[in-house]
């Protein structure tokens, strides 16, 4: 039996060759891995992807089918197989596989089918991901080796401090297509600035501007065909988290920054029923409420689940002292329309500085 570490090293070599677009050499390395471990799902899937790049579609299809024999519900393999069907013109097969196996009927590149696919509007938020992701590592005091890689799992030590002390922040952005198929982002500078405010508060290294925007640009360029039109968008999730293998209670010295994308329709389709929360709190003065920290969301799950059990959709959070002042809702900032005025809580360190909120305020000031 070949040691697992050796197989992983060979897999890294193969993946690096793939990223360098040396597809034939990558396939040779994947083949070596599979001779020793015929059940290696990652090698099979990535080999199929490399064969697709060389337009060896029949061989690629064999890889995907073997992969699905190992794990029939693997979404990464299923998406790649759908994409392959699209490339060879088997539109009906792609749609059937999408419906039956993944639960959505749209797939990359089916431009002429967008108008026919009403089920795309029912696509569950955050359940389906595009073909690629952006990844960069922070070590030795700097961000190193940014790269676009096939969407896949990655290895992390169980001692990584993110698991023990929660150093993790993220952002949420959207990309849209206009009628001319141009891709647009909505005020991305605001997300970039807020990401670094969150990094600073959570004692994490700031993300360089070029790294952030070039990573998103390259990712959207490669996976552009996943972006729909009209009500369908591309949700973009940049994430920074601590990776240093230590259980010492101190800031991590190593981090990962990755960006993944997920096709999505509207987050909500119907009016919401909300509960004014008067027991639990989301944030307190001097805390991390203004940061888009992962722990802020984890802490809200329990009170939100209690509200849902009572028949509500969301919570409206109130101040931590007296529960008399409205602050924000569970997934959004909040406005009240009173006569001809829109009123929103003043931004403090207990409220997330929402990009949509700031935009509405800016528009209202120009109208006045």
**What was the pLDDT predicted at 10?**
79
Structure tokens at 298: 């984890």
pLDDT score at 121? 45
Kindly state whether residue 121 falls inside one of the protein's structural domains: no
The answer to whether residue 119 sits within a structural domain is: no
Reading the block at residue 349, the tokens are: 């360190």
Asked if 141 and 260 sit in the same domain, the reply is yes
Tens digits of residue pLDDT in 268-304: 766 788 999 999 999 999 999 999 999 999 999 999 9
Which of 76, 110, 144 terminates a domain? The answer is: 110
Same-domain status, 207 and 288: no
Q: Report the CATH number that the domain containing residue 176 is assigned in CATH.
A: 3.30.470.10
Q: Based on the domain organization, do 175 and 223 belong to the same domain?
A: yes
Name the E strands within the chain: 132-139, 142-150, 168-170, 173-177, 183-185, 233-242, 255-264, 274-276, 314-318, 326-329, 336-338, 341-343
Alpha helices in 71-153 (DSSP H): 75-87, 91-97
Domain that holds residue 56: 4-110
Q: For residue 5, which phi and psi values (nearest 5 degrees)? A: -60, -35
Residue 181 Rama label (left phi>0; alpha psi -120 to 50; beta): left
Burial of residue 37 (number of CB atoms within 10 Å: 0-12, 13-18, 19+): middle
Q: What is the CATH number of the domain that holds 294?
A: 3.20.10.10
The residues, any chain, with a CB within 8 Å of residue 328's CB and separated by 6 or more, are 282, 316, 317, 334, 345, 351, 352, 354
Q: What integer pLDDT is reported at residue 117 of this predicted model?
A: 40
Residue 239: phi and psi, rounded to 5, are: -135, 140
Q: Which two tokens stand for residue 151?
A: 């969407």
Per-residue confidence (pLDDT) for residue 91, from 0 to 100 = 59
Structural domains in the chain (count): 3
pLDDT of residue 250: 96
Identify whether 115 is part of a domain: no
8 A C-beta contact, residue 168 and residue 293? yes
Smallest Cα–Cα separation from 255: which of 163, 154, 168? Answer: 168
Same domain, 257 and 140: yes
Question: Is residue 241 domain-shared with residue 341, that is, in the same domain?
Answer: no
In this structure, the answer to whether residues 106 and 213 fall within a common structural domain is: no
Q: Are residues 87 and 144 in the same domain?
A: no
Which tokens is 350 given?
């207990």
Same domain, 154 and 253: yes
Query: At how many degrees (to 10) do helices 209-222 and 188-201 cross?
Result: 130
Q: Are residues 187 and 281 in the same domain?
A: no
Q: List, for the chain, all residue ranges whose pLDDT scores fall below the cut of 50.
A: 1-7, 99, 101-122
- Together in a domain, 283 and 256: no
CATH number, domain of 64, equals 1.25.40.10
End-of-domain residue from the set 239, 264, 289? 264
Domain boundary among 236, 264, 292: 264
Residue 306, in any domain of the structure: yes
pLDDT the model gives residue 101: 47
65 within a domain of the structure (yes/no): yes
Shared domain for 197 and 304, answered yes or no, is: no
Looking at the domain assignment, is residue 125 inside a domain?
Answer: no
82 backbone dihedrals φ, ψ, rounded to 5°: -60, -45
Residue 173 within a domain: yes
Nearest to 306 by CA among 263, 339, 275, 347: 275
CB 240 within 8 A of CB 212: no
Closest CA to 130 of 258, 196, 265, 220: 220
122 within a domain of the structure (yes/no):
no
Do 22 and 71 fall into the same domain?
Answer: yes
């Amino acid at each position: 039996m070949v040691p697992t570490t050796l197989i992983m090293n060979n897999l890294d070599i193969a993946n690096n060759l793939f990223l360098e677009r040396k597809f034939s050499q990558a396939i040779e390395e994947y083949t070596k891995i599979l001779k020793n471990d015929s059940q290696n799902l990652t090698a099979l899937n990535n080999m199929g992807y490399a064969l697709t790049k060389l337009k060896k579609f029949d061989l690629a299809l064999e890889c995907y089918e073997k992969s699905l024999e190992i794990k029939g519900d693997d979404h990464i393999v299923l998406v790649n197989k759908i994409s392959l069907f699209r490339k060879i013109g088997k539109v009906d097969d792609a749609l059937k596989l999408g419906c039956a196996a993944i639960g959505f009927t749209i797939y990359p590149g089916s431009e002429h089918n967008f108008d026919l696919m009403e089920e795309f509007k029912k696509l569950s938020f955050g359940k389906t991901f595009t073909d690629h992701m952006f990844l960069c590592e922070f070590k030795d005091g700097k961000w190193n080796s940014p790269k676009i890689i096939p969407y896949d799992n990655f290895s992390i030590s169980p001692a990584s401090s993110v698991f023990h002390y929660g150093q993790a922040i993220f952002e949420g952005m959207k990309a849209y297509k206009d009628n001319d198929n141009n891709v647009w982002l909505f005020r991305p500078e605001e997300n970039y600035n807020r990401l670094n405010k969150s990094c600073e508060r959570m004692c994490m290294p700031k993300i360089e501007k070029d790294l952030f925007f070039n990573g998103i640009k390259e990712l959207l360029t490669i996976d552009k065909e996943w972006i729909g039109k009209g009500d369908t968008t591309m949700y973009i999730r940049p994430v920074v988290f601590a990776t240093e293998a230590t259980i010492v209670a101190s800031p991590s010295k190593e981090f990962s920054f990755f960006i993944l994308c997920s096709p999505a329709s509207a987050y909500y389709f119907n009016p919401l029923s909300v509960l004014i929360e008067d027991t639990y709190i989301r944030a307190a003065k001097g805390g991390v409420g203004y940061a888009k920290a992962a722990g802020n969301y984890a802490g809200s799950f329990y009170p939100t689940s209690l509200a849902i059990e009572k028949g509500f959709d969301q919570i409206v959070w109130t101040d931590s002292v007296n529960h008399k002042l409205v602050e924000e809702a569970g997934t959004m900032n909040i406005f009240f329309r009173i006569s001809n005025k829109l009123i929103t809580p003043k931004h403090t360190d207990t409220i997330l500085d929402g990009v949509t909120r700031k935009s509405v305020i800016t528009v209202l000031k120009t109208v006045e």
